[in-house]
Amino acid sequence: MKINKLIFSLVLAIPFVIPGKINGQTVAGDSSINNATLDQCIQYALKNQPAVKQALIDEEIGERDIKSALSGWLPQINGNANLNHNLKQQVSVFPVDGVPTNVTIGTKNTSLISVQANQNILNAGLIQASKTAKFFRQQFKQNTENNEITTVVDVSKAFYDILTSREQLNITDENIARLQKQLKDAFAQYEGGLVDKTDYKRAQISLSNSQADKKRITELLKYKYAYLKQLIGYPVTADFMINANNTSMENEILLDTTQQLNYQNRVEYRQLATQRELQRINTNYNKLAYLPTLSAFINYGENYLNDNFRNLYDTNYPSSVGGLTLSIPIFQGTKRTQEIRKAQLQEKRADLDLIQAKNSIYSQTEAAMASYKANLNDWKTSRQNVTLSQEVYNTIKVQYDEGIKSYLELMTAETDLRTTQINYLNALYSLLSSKLDVQQALGTITIQQ
């Protein structure tokens, strides 16, 4: 009978157990990405990057701190209990019929069980906690935003860096294919007695150099993938590839260079402004320290008195009292005055921090904008050079095949073509990086974007 009940219970549990496993597998599948776009990498990083997670945890910790500080406005209830055995009872002298007489006071055993409730009515510290709660929440959110923006910029640059290296690898493969054909042709011409062995030896040297370049780029590409994994918080042992091409990079290069700088767009400036508000509230708090502290209380206690310990809790003598407690700070040396002056100086220092931040942001923006414009010009020049070097190579290749040009001239044209292609990719990466720097300096990078 017990076995039947057990089987029946397991059958009923199956619908609840299996969906849990399915959901768990789904979540695990969603936690990994492959053949990822830039947007997918960024979204993954914002969910899994340790620094972003830590910032979100800091938000939760800050919320707990705020609620802990504001809990002082709620009634504070405490219970107390004590048990005393008077080894030597107190003796007082009372006049009896005009004669001083020693009288023992109290009982040998006493016990008190009490409960007291306190309610703050006026308290400078709690007033400050109420006023600062909004700004502390704002400060933690700004810290999270700052981490997220930094993550977006770092992930984007690392993504573009990988894409640049992949394109360099493609160019190197094309170059190797050309050099292999040239080596084959040069060797055939040498065997035919048309040229000496210098041409095919040069082709062999160039081919070896290109193959070495491919090895170097391939190894560096492994590191760059590992670095991107680190930035987005991706499992180091999981497979990971990106999905993009050179065209997608070119589509992201344009930027409106006429945008006006708005300091409020920079989260770093807003963080300093928040700190300035907190400092202002702190100054007011030091002024509020002159206010009295007022609280209400009520308590209830049960008193037990008996000379015989065994019978101590037989009889109860309850008591209760309620009232107000007012504490007025009259003189504390010059501490309050010094604290106020110190807070005022800290306010002035916070004002200077804002001024310094404005100057720094302006300088960063100008530097980033100048770099972007210069890199844009370099990219345009590199693009034109790629077209020209391709035309020159094609022309010289035809002339070499016809015996008009020497092999050295062909190698020079091939080297120029490869150099301009690599320069173009480097210029494109520098342009995209400087664009991100401009957006970060202007404060136009948002998580929604």
> Does a structural domain hold residue 386?
yes
Judge whether 134 lies within some domain. yes
The total number of structural domains that make up the chain: 1
C-alpha 114, offset from chain centre: 49
For residues 263 and 269, what is the distance between their CA atoms, to the nearest angstrom?
A: 7
Q: CB within 8 A of 224, min separation 6: which ones?
A: 158, 161, 162, 165
Cβ–Cβ < 8 Å for 428, 164: yes
Q: How far apart are CA 439 and CA 157, in angstroms?
A: 13
Give me the residue label for tokens 């993954």: 44
Is 73 part of any domain? Answer: yes
Element housing 382 (H / E): helix 335-401
Structure tokens at 86: 């008077």
pLDDT of the chain along its 449 residues, tens only? 333 333 333 333 333 333 333 333 333 334 567 788 899 999 999 999 999 999 999 999 999 999 999 999 999 999 999 999 988 888 887 787 777 877 778 888 999 999 999 999 999 889 999 999 999 999 999 999 999 999 999 999 999 999 999 999 999 999 999 888 888 877 877 777 666 777 778 888 888 999 999 999 999 999 999 999 999 999 988 888 888 766 667 888 888 888 999 999 999 999 999 999 999 999 988 888 788 999 999 999 999 998 888 888 888 999 999 999 999 888 878 888 898 999 999 999 999 999 999 999 999 999 999 999 999 999 999 999 999 999 999 999 888 888 788 888 888 898 899 999 999 999 999 999 999 999 999 999 877 65
Phi, psi of 289 (to 5 degrees): -60, -15
Examine residue 186 and state whether it is found in any structural domain, yes or no: yes
- pLDDT on residue 427: 94
Q: Which structure tokens are listed for 126? A: 């709690």
Core vs surface per residue 299-322: b (16+ CB within 10 A) or e: bebbebebeeeeebeeeeeeeeee
Structure confidence at residue 10 (pLDDT): 32
Domain that holds residue 163: 31-78+122-290+331-442
- How far apart CA 211 and CA 363 sit, in angstroms, is 44
The pLDDT, as a whole number, for residue 101 is 79
Structure-derived torsion over alpha carbons of residues 274, 277, 278, 284, reported in degrees to the nearest 10: 180
User: Looking at residue 5, what is its pLDDT?
Assistant: 38
The domain that contains 275 carries what CATH number? 1.20.1600.10
Write out pLDDT tens, residues 251-271: 888 888 889 999 999 999 999
The answer to whether residue 116 is domain-embedded is no
Q: Letter for the amino acid at 60?
A: E
Query: Is residue 98 included in any domain, yes or no?
Result: no
Within-domain flag for 12 = no
What's the pLDDT at 449?
A: 52
Report yes or no on 9 lying in a domain.
Answer: no
Quick one: which H or E segment has residue 103? strand 99-104
